[in-house]
Amino acid sequence: MNEQASFFGKGSPALKSDRTDWETPRELFDRLNAFWHFDLDAAASDTNHLCADYYTKETDGLAQSWAGRRVWCNPPYGKQIADWTRKAYEETRDGQTLVIMLIPARTDTRWYHDYIQGRAAEVKFIRGRLKYTLGGGRSKQRPVPFDACKVGW
């Protein structure tokens, strides 16, 4: 067993979360939207979408074109996040598409190095822990167990 694994323990709650569906804090979105004027929420639900035009799990934002759009994306934070960061990077290569993504700040991951490091136009790390609303804005806000960042392509 390596020293890091024995020190932090497997599955330490400070390093991981079982949730993948963290809803965007409305005040954060409103500040960003006032500047960027998003027209598509690429990873939403019928109860938490932040733009009039949005994709849900059923309509699959990964399978849709984002070409020429001003996209807000707060993707599911599970294993599929690599697919979402790749999609954002690839969609913006045309120079006509803007994507701003809210994601966990996991700078040690392959997806961070493959699609963000040196490829995104900007990365802003968020000071402190975000408080996400759970359950379609109906339940109490709770701080997440991870750091977050905003990434723009």
Hey, how many other C-beta atoms are within 10 angstroms of the C-beta on 70? 16
Residue 106 pLDDT > 60 = yes
Counting residues of the chain whose pLDDT is more than 90, the rounded percentage is 64
* Residues 40 and 53 sit within 8 Å (Cβ to Cβ): yes
User: Across residues 85-112, what is the average pLDDT?
Assistant: 96
User: Across residues 104-119, what is the average pLDDT?
Assistant: 96
Tens digit of each residue's pLDDT (9 = 90 or more) over 71-90: 999 999 888 999 999 999 99
pTM for this structure? 0.81
- Give all domains of the chain, ordered by start, each with its CATH number: 19-152 (3.40.50)
Average predicted confidence (pLDDT) for the chain: 84
In DSSP terms, 150 is beta-bridged to 102, 124
H/E segment holding residue 141: strand 141-143
Strands 148-152 and 98-104: antiparallel
Give the model's pLDDT for residue 77.
85
Tens digit of each residue's pLDDT (9 = 90 or more) over 23-61: 788 889 999 999 999 999 999 999 899 999 999 999 999
